[in-house]
Amino acid sequence: MIMDPRPRDNLNFGARLPTPNPPTPHMISFSLQQPQLQFFPSYGFHSHNHNNPPVSSHPSPPSVMPSCTTPSPASTTTTEPDNAEDFSEAVADDAILAYINQFLLEDEDESYPVASAPVEDSALLAAVEKPFVDILKSAKPITAKAYEVKSWITDDCHSTGSGRFHDVVTSSLDSTQLPGEMVQGDVVGAVHKGQKNPRDDDLEVEGRKSKQSALCDEETVREMFDKVLLCTDKNCAFKSPMPADAQISGGYVKGSGNRRGRRKGGSGAGAEQEPVDLATLLIHCAQAAAIDDHRNSSELLKQIRKHSSATGDAGQRLAHYFADGLEARLAGTGSSIYRSLAAKRTSTGDMLKAFNLYVKACPFRIISHYVANMTILNATKSVTRLHIIEYGIMYGFQWPILMQHLSKRSGGPPILRITGIDFPLSGFRPAERVEATGRRLHEYARMFNVPFEYQAIAAKWDTIQVKDLNIKSDEFIVVNCLYRMRNMMDETATDDSPRTRVLNTIRKLNPNLFVHGIVNGTYNAPFFVTRFKEAMFFFSSIFDMLEANASRMDEHRLLIEREFFGREAVNVIACEGTERIERPETYKQWQMRNLRAGFRQLPLDREIMKRARYKVSKTYPRDFLVDKDNKWMLQGWKGRVIYALSVWSS
């Protein structure tokens, strides 16, 4: 809002002008600047009849429905005074009632004159206005703290984990801007209706405290981010020197024998129940659903529901989410249910806590990030401009530690530019998450004094062209995609495979490095029963791994299972055609795809692999494996390969 520098007496206050909200673009070139606090008018000022002096120059509250105008009635209060004193009091009462009448009922339409009670003394008018003037003068300036917090955390830092931080901040600010506010400069003064209660200050303080308790503390969240995403521990396994027995070149390494996973029947289980073969029940139910045998499938579902639970052991949890998928498939509502699950927003704070639990429970993500980042660092030792294009950036948890390493590079860090690409979110802000990621990365770049640029793109990946990425000739280009390419359609869904188009676009970029991580799954068969069995075998390893390394009642384990693996299982089971977006392939299939697209596979660095193996052997249970096959790094649980990673060049 632009304030007129003229004195207030000369201001010409007109009717309120609506400000339309511009449509949110799906592709945004994100400008990383500190957000400025802006005030938007939420009230109207009224003109008075020139024949009668105005009762007050204070604003009138806005109408609830601006399109419906109602004339403000004139005051009809009269008295029969017996003496001068009574007459003076009557005049004062009439003036106050007329002011309240105007204040409460006056509309924004200037065509209706407002009649006011006669005022015989200007001192009396000043006395009437004094309480309101005092309120305006005592109003405190509003600060931009909430907006500064948004620049760091943006969505999602509610103390209970049930709401988004941006919504909490917005509602907190909006609740302090009452309908009768007058904004001038940095000061917001609320015009209170009626006499102010002496206890209002105490109630206001209590209300402010309750609102602040709902917002997470910025410093605490920042410390949590640093602790999880940065390598700050002096005993960090990636920094500490490896002992002599760790200097091995073998390919297959298991986890440490000093730390075993928790037994399946550990604490958290309820009373013993008669054993039920849930796997067999699930397969029989899937077979009945495949031939639309609703009677048998419903009976089998009842048995599965009876013995499954989202808080039970690994088999019970797997059966619980697979039963959800079977039920949705039988009801024909798989697509709508999955869309509703995908539309749910999880706070960034909760996601970070879940990520922290996940990296403690298994090495899959932390090892992948380490191998990818160290490969990038080794290839960019003398580079002055580094451009990282990440497909599927999500929350950007991989990049703060890379910035930390770049800041320590001899000769200073390069100019780092990250293009964050992700699928658009549902709703009116499709780029909300990818933009929030850019703000967080901007803060880390400022912390480590790394020159930083960021571009956010929220669009279908196969629609992105080379020109949209703004490639510069002097940039070292790195394309990074870890475990998200499985969400692209393949030849079984469409003739012109979006998966192939994305690989061809990456090839046209001529990247210096292409770091590709994949989910090594075989549950992409077009036939339902075959796909169901393969998915059950794959996800049983995931749930068994979490059962062995995380507490059953840990809320973040429940979040991981519900929001990630459970939701993926529902999509695999209940959706068909283009609605089924979970389409993993094995690393051997991806190797053939990348070779056909024109990429050249690079060998994995031996020293990086040694360090990765040492991290797993020192920190994680023995059932985890790190292996290498045909220039792919393989990670798995109890002999099953779950993830694979490789490095390519154009």
**92-102: pLDDT as tens digits:** 566 666 666 66
| DSSP 8-state assignment for residue 562 | I
Domain spans of the chain, in order of start: 276-345+526-581, 362-521+584-649
Q: What dihedral do alpha carbons 453, 455, 461, 465 form, nearest 10°?
A: -90
Q: How far lies 434's CA from each of 295, 382, 390, 481, in Å?
A: 45, 29, 11, 15
Fold of the domain spanning 362-521+584-649: Rossmann fold (3.40.50)
Smallest Cα–Cα separation from 620: which of 608, 637, 632?
637
Does the pLDDT of residue 307 top 80, yes or no?
yes
- The answer to whether the pTM exceeds 0.85 is no
Task: Say how far apart CA 354 and CA 136 lie, in whole Å.
Answer: 47
**CA atoms within 13 A of residue 192's CA, in its CB half-sphere:** 17
Output the average pLDDT for the chain. 74
Q: In sequence order, what are the beta bridge partners of 647? A: 515, 602
User: Can you state the percent helix, strand and coil of the chain, rounding each to 5?
Assistant: 45, 10, 45
Q: Which residues of 230-240 are buried (b: 16+ CB within 10 A; e: fewer)?
A: beeeeeebbee
pLDDT (tens digit, 9 = 90+) per residue, 464-494? 999 999 999 999 999 999 999 999 999 888 8
φ, ψ for residue 156, nearest 5 deg? 120, 70
pLDDT (tens digit, 9 = 90+) per residue, 493-504? 888 899 999 999
Collapsed DSSP state (helix, strand, coil) of residue 224: helix
What pLDDT sits at residue 334? Answer: 73
Does the pLDDT of residue 171 top 80, yes or no?
no
Q: To which H or E segment does residue 401 belong?
A: helix 399-407
Could you give the percent of the chain with pLDDT greater than 90?
A: 50
Does the pLDDT of residue 211 top 80, yes or no?
no
What pLDDT sits at residue 224? Answer: 75
Q: In sequence order, what are the beta bridge partners of 632? A: 629
Does the pLDDT of residue 72 top 50, yes or no?
no
Overall residue count recorded for the chain in this entry: 650
Cβ-based neighbours of 507, under 8 Å, separated by 6 or more: 597, 598, 599, 650
What pLDDT sits at residue 348? Answer: 79
Does the pLDDT of residue 69 top 90, yes or no?
no
Task: Say how far apart CA 251 and CA 245 lie, in whole Å.
Answer: 15
Mean local confidence (pLDDT), 534-555: 95
Cβ-based neighbours of 372, under 8 Å, separated by 6 or more: 398, 480, 482, 515, 517, 645
What pLDDT sits at residue 120? Answer: 55
Q: Which residues of 170-188 are buried (b: 16+ CB within 10 A; e: fewer)?
A: eeeeeeebbebbbbeeeeb
Smallest Cα–Cα separation from 403: which of 448, 366, 456?
448
What pLDDT sits at residue 270? Answer: 43
Q: To which H or E segment does residue 596 belong?
A: helix 587-596
Mean local confidence (pLDDT), 584-600: 96
Task: Say how far apart CA 319 and CA 316 lie, in whole Å.
Answer: 5
